[in-house]
């Protein structure tokens, strides 16, 4: 394997790994469930993509033809991650899980839970 | 009975099957053709009507724009996570939406979840409001404006609703 390919693979593996680590670290670090949701939906998409790009280049080199099935995994991840996050948020709201005190717009939570319509005071419609 | 009730989905199934197996050998092509014909034939009865994509080029541009936003979102959120947690100002926001098809709302909500700082939590029953949770909410009006301008407008144009 040529040296420059090794470098590209290493860089994408390391970036991917770093983002995945940050994503998991966020789960431990952030204070409430609504904030914790952000770290796996975002920080980890780029992490997985980095790892998959590395795999794609490595496999393409190994097999001698372009291997693009990894792109499918990224695509499926992009489709499923928001849905999972949405379901978790819904469940948390349904059980009236308390957010941390400084959360803005807490008065909205009951409205959101009941899926009612709202009219915030300063929004032009 | 049509041979291809959903031609686009048939093509998609065909390509995805070949990609999953990472091969274009004759056997897999036969199998992919089989799936591309039978699966749409089986599921066509339980399909809801979705609005058609009226502007395919705009749709492609939208996908590329979202990908770019996902990249920046990842970096932004990573920085927020590593940075001081005490300074974060989370908040719930109600965003008025005008898109009214199921598909449009789904795409808008998913995009909002994947892009900077926001996760969509719920849609009101009358489909007039999208409720999102923001990790770091500085300016509510600005957030609403950016979602409406950046994501909702192209979606409305793409589906023409």
The full DSSP string for chain A is --HHHHHHHHHHHHHHHHHHHHHHHHHHHSSSHHHHTHIIIIIHHHHHHHHHHHHHHHHHHHHSS---HHHHHHHHHHHHHHHHHHHHHHHHHHTTPPPPTT-BTTTHHHHHHTT-----TT---
How close, in Å, is residue B96 to chain A by CA atoms? 7
- pLDDT tens-digit readout, B5-22: 777 888 888 888 888 887
Most A CBs within 10 Å, among B121, B130, B143, to test the A interface:
B121
The whole-number pLDDT of residue A119 equals 65
Q: Which of B16, B81, B90 sits opposite A25 (nearest CB)?
A: B81
The whole-number pLDDT of residue A125 equals 44
Domain count, chain A: 1
User: Which one of A53-57, B51-55, B84-88 scores highest in mean pLDDT?
Assistant: A53-57
Phi, psi for residue B129 in degrees, rounded to 5: -130, 140
Residue A72 domain-assigned (yes or no): yes
Domain range for A11 is 3-113
Residue A121 domain-assigned (yes or no): no
How close, in Å, is residue A3 to chain B by CA atoms? 26
- pLDDT tens-digit readout, B94-146: 888 888 788 888 888 888 888 777 888 888 888 888 888 888 887 878 888 88
Q: Which of B70, B119, B124 sits opposite A89 (nearest CB)?
A: B119
Say how far apart CA B134 and CA B117 lie, in whole Å. 5
The whole-number pLDDT of residue A12 equals 92
**Cβ distance B120 to B130 under 8 Å?**
yes
Q: What are the residues whose beta carbons fall under 8 Å from the beta carbon of B36, sequence distance 6 or more?
A: B4, B10, B11, B13, B14, B17
Residue A52 domain-assigned (yes or no): yes
Q: Residue A10: pLDDT above 90? A: yes
Q: Residue B61: pLDDT above 70? A: yes
Q: Which of A29, A85, A93 sits opposite B85 (nearest CB)?
A: A29
Q: What is the pTM of this model?
A: 0.79
B78 touching A (Cβ < 8 Å): yes
Return mean pLDDT, chain B: 83
Q: Where are the alpha helices (DSSP H) in B83-152?
A: 102-114, 140-146
The whole-number pLDDT of residue A11 equals 93
Residue among A50, A28, A25, A23 nearest A39 (CA): A23
**Cβ distance B37 to B6 under 8 Å?**
no
Residue A68 domain-assigned (yes or no): yes
How close, in Å, is residue B53 to chain A by CA atoms? 18
- Residue B20, classed as helix, strand or coil, is helix
Return mean pLDDT, chain A: 83
- pLDDT tens-digit readout, A43-77: 778 888 889 999 988 888 888 777 778 888 888 88
Q: Residue B75: pLDDT above 50? A: yes
Say how far apart CA A112 and CA A95 lie, in whole Å. 12
């Amino acid at each position: 394997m040529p040296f420059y390919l090794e470098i590209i693979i290493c860089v994408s593996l390391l970036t991917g790994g770093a983002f995945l680590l940050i994503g998991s670290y966020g789960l431990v670090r952030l204070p409430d469930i609504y904030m914790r949701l952000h770290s796996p939906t975002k920080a980890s998409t780029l992490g997985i993509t980095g790892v998959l790009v590395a795999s794609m280049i490595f496999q393409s080199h190994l097999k001698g033809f372009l291997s693009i099935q990894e792109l499918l995994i990224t695509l499926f991840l992009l489709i499923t991650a928001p849905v999972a996050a949405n379901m978790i948020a819904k469940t948390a709201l349904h059980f009236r899980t308390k957010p941390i005190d400084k959360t803005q717009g807490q008065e909205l939570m009951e409205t959101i839970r009941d899926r009612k319509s709202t009219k915030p005071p300063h929004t032009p419609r | 009975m049509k041979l291809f009730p959903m031609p686009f989905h048939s093509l998609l199934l065909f390509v995805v099957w070949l990609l999953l197996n990472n091969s274009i050998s004759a056997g897999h092509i036969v199998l992919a053709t089989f799936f591309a014909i039978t699966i749409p034939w089986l599921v066509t009865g339980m399909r809801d009507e979705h609005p058609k994509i009226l502007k395919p080029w705009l749709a492609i541009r939208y996908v590329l724009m979202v990908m770019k936003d996902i990249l920046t979102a990842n970096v932004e959120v990573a920085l927020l996570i590593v940075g001081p947690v005490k300074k974060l100002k989370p908040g719930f926001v109600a965003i008025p939406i005008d898109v009214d098809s199921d598909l449009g709302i789904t795409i808008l909500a998913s995009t909002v979840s994947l892009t900077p700082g926001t996760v969509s939590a719920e849609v009101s029953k009358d489909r007039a409001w999208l409720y999102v949770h923001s990790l770091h909410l500085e300016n509510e009006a600005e957030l609403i404006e950016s979602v409406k301008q950046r994501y909702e407008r192209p979606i409305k144009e793409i589906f023409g609703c």
